[in-house]
Amino acid sequence: MKRSVFPNRWLPYALVGPQVIITLVFFFWPAFDSLRLSLYRASPFGDRLIYVGLTNFERLFRDDAYLRSALTSFSFSFAVTFVGLALALLLASLANARIRGLAVYRSLLLWPYGIAPAIAGIIWLFVFHPSYGILPWLLSFVTAYQLNWFLQGGAAMMLLIVAAIWKQFGYNLAFYLAGLQAIETSVLEAASVDGAGPIRRFFAITFPLLSPVTFFLFTLNMTFSFFDTFGLVHAVTQGGPGDATSILVYRAWKDGFEGLQLGYSAAQSVVLMALVIGLTAFQFRFAEKKVTY
Amino acid sequence: MALTLSRPAALAAASSRPRRRDWHAFTAHAILLASVVVLAFPLYYAFVISTQTLSQVTTMPPKPWPSTAIVSNYAEAWQRAHMGRMLVNSAIVALGVAVGKIAISLLSAFAIVYFDFRGKNLVFWMIFVTLMLPVPVRIVSTYQVVSVLGWVNTYWGLTVPLMASATGTFLFRQFFRTIPDSLAEAAQLDGAGPMRFLWTILLPLSKANMAALFVILFVYGWNDYLWPLMITNTPEMRTAVIGIETLVPRTSQLPEWNVAMAAAMMVLAPPVAVIVAMQRWFVKGLIETEK
């Protein structure tokens, strides 16, 4: 720990001032206001608020549409995270060799990180386009099945998952490659001498040694797919068809801004807040115990 | 016996090793190359579409090579979506958020590490808690706060509320703590005040961290969607990422995907260019900000 070296009474307050003011005004005030609003509902003319206690929350947990959204959100996030990470890990393990040009590959893998989820979605929207897209066209040679995100919730969901995985993939792969390259080959060689096959070696040695990377990528991809994919849904499917792709954040925004159900939307914000706090707590507990950077 | 046995074994090992290594290297190159190509294909395809005429786009089979309509498509997209204005807005937001966040978090980290003041722990925890309050968990009420301030549809509203940064503060705090105490002591002996120390010593030392944060924050500011969607309500104040949605052909419209893709190319170019140009800092930023 550093000793404080500059004796000054007011300067430190001036220095933290901007941060503290922004934090109070744009983080704490709205957060408390969300808590407060979640106990109210707007009057029919929208001119005043009526206290309703926990009614909004009761309604939330009885609302089939909301529960469907929760399921949609979780399945979307898990699909993006698990499929994305599994694929990246598989390819990284197969490609793990001391070769030249790794830095070049890394550059060629990382750029999609810069593409906004909404833009990634619009590109894939066209790739998946039922009439003009290259993917349905290619599929038509293999199967008579018609992939149509206009009508099928599953197809729309798949489109979003593919777009999200695409955006994250290069970066997952780059991190796994770096993690694998950092593992001492002597450990693996020793296991090999002891007669462990490649699959056994992978699960007994490589995978546990990679746990910090996996943990890091897991939290990052979960947060990304849960919270940062609002733009993807808004620009690409608008939650549809029906409400097949209405993830929680999208519903909270829609109920608040389009439906003008302020209390109901605030209650959804409070539930999301609880989720983030849970995720952060999990991250810190887990990070302290198991993961060393 | 042992000798005769081990000899061929050693020989075999010696001769098969390079061959196995060659094979390994070959698969590695093949897999990485395939990944790079598959990853780049959608972008290439989108670019190709942005150069084709409407009839080329809508007749099957798809033609995966560039055509000649590039200028007219980009001009059309530019005009129809007020692209110039939107790109300027995006640049203001991305630069404002990045520079503002870096400045604000640098100053607070400096205060936290180099001063002793009452309420320091409270300040630290307040900053920490913002990690748990991203925009989606306070959608309606943050909008209300911004509208109370009269900042709806302004650059202030688009940038200032996003400038608090726990990750930035922690990054600089962590970094300042690795700087030897003797530097600050020496500065004091020379009669330099804290601000002078910050300006002439800490700031130059922090360049790498600032660059790393800049890449991450620029990309974040440029690509942010929910915030500008809530805060702006006229086409003149829209940022590019949310504005191009109007160009995506819906069911009842003419399928001008070539124009939509031209717009997409223009919107994605700046953040991707920043990542490519500042690659080294980007990788550092990715690792540092998630710690």
Flag if A99 and B27 touch (Cβ within 8 Å).
no
Of A25, A111, A150, the CB nearest to B145: A25
Q: Which domains does chain B show, CATH number per domain?
A: 82-289 (1.10.3720.10)
Of A3, A28, A97, the CB nearest to B28: A97
A chain contacts of residue B87, beta-carbon cutoff 8 Å: none
In whole angstroms, how large is the CA radius of gyration of chain A?
24
Q: Distance (Å, rounded) from C-alpha B173 to C-alpha B132?
A: 19
The CA distance from B46 to the nearest CA of chain A, in Å, is 6
Q: What is the mean pLDDT of residues A196-219?
A: 86
B chain contacts of residue A3, beta-carbon cutoff 8 Å: 181
Spatial neighbors of B155 by CB under 8 A, at least 6 apart, are: B89, B92, B93, B96
B245 DSSP 8-state letter: G
Q: Check if B25 contacts A (Cβ < 8 Å).
A: yes
Q: Check if B258 contacts A (Cβ < 8 Å).
A: no
Inter-residue contact B83 to B263 (CB < 8 Å): yes
- pLDDT tens string, chain B, 291 residues long: the values are 333 333 444 444 444 555 666 778 888 899 999 999 999 999 999 999 999 888 888 888 888 888 888 898 899 889 888 899 999 999 999 999 999 999 999 999 999 999 988 899 999 999 988 888 888 888 888 898 999 999 999 999 999 999 988 889 999 999 999 988 888 888 888 888 888 889 988 999 999 999 999 999 999 999 999 999 999 999 899 999 999 888 888 777 778 888 999 999 999 999 999 999 998 888 888 777 765
Q: Check if B36 contacts A (Cβ < 8 Å).
A: yes
User: Of the ranges A8-12, A42-46, B108-112, B246-250, which is most confident?
Assistant: B108-112
- Residue among A1, A11, A24, A26 with most chain B CBs within 10 A, to mutate: A26
User: Of the ranges A95-99, A114-118, A152-156, A225-229, which is most confident?
Assistant: A114-118
For residue A287, name the pLDDT band (cuts at 50, 70, 90).
low
What is the phi/psi pair of residue A291, to 5°? -110, 130
The alpha carbon dihedral of B104, B107, B112, B116 has a sign of negative
A161 pLDDT more than 90: yes
* pLDDT value of residue B269: 95
Flag if B225 and A235 touch (Cβ within 8 Å).
yes
The CA distance from A12 to the nearest CA of chain B, in Å, is 5
- Residue among B138, B198, B276 with most chain A CBs within 10 A, to mutate: B138
The CA distance from B80 to the nearest CA of chain A, in Å, is 17
In whole angstroms, how large is the CA radius of gyration of chain B?
27
* pLDDT value of residue B5: 37
User: B34-66 burial, b for 16+ CB within 10 Å, e for fewer?
Assistant: ebbeebbebbebbbbbbbbeeebbbeeebeeee
Q: Check if B204 contacts A (Cβ < 8 Å).
A: no
Q: Distance (Å, rounded) from C-alpha A233 to C-alpha B28?
A: 35
Q: Distance (Å, rounded) from C-alpha B272 to C-alpha B219?
A: 8
Flag if B275 and A110 touch (Cβ within 8 Å).
yes
Beta strand pairing call for A40-42 and A49-51? antiparallel
* pLDDT value of residue B8: 42
Q: Among A23-27, A58-62, A96-100, which is the least confidently predicted range? A: A96-100
Q: Among A202-211, A279-288, B116-125, which is the least confidently predicted range? A: A279-288
SS3 category, B274? helix
Q: What percent of chain A has pLDDT over 70?
A: 95
**One-letter amino acid identity for A179?**
G
SS3 category, A190? helix
Inter-residue contact A80 to A163 (CB < 8 Å): no
Flag if B62 and A293 touch (Cβ within 8 Å).
no
A4 DSSP 8-state letter: P
B chain contacts of residue A113, beta-carbon cutoff 8 Å: 219, 275, 282, 286
- Residue among B44, B93, B131, B140 with most chain A CBs within 10 A, to mutate: B140
In angstroms, what CA-CA distances link B12 with A10, A143, B85?
Answer: 75, 49, 68
* pLDDT value of residue A293: 37
Q: Check if B124 contacts A (Cβ < 8 Å).
A: no
Token digits of residue A124: 């894939």
Token digits of residue A118: 């909404």
Q: Distance (Å, rounded) from C-alpha A152 to C-alpha A129?
A: 12
Considering only alpha carbons, which residue of chain A is nearest residue B274?
Answer: A114
Q: Check if B125 contacts A (Cβ < 8 Å).
A: no
Q: Which domains does chain A show, CATH number per domain?
A: 65-290 (1.10.3720.10)
Cα angle value A97/A100/A106 (rounded, 5°): 85
* pLDDT value of residue A70: 93
Q: Distance (Å, rounded) from C-alpha A238 to C-alpha A159?
A: 13
B chain contacts of residue A20, beta-carbon cutoff 8 Å: 108, 123, 126
* pLDDT value of residue B4: 36
For residue A41, list its beta bridge partners.
A50
A chain contacts of residue B27, beta-carbon cutoff 8 Å: 94-95, 97
Model pLDDT for residues A239-251, shown as the tens digit of each residue: 878 888 899 999 9
Q: Distance (Å, rounded) from C-alpha B169 to C-alpha A102?
A: 32
Of B36, B42, B229, the CB nearest to A108: B36
Q: Distance (Å, rounded) from C-alpha B231 to C-alpha B160?
A: 12
Token digits of residue B97: 């958020």
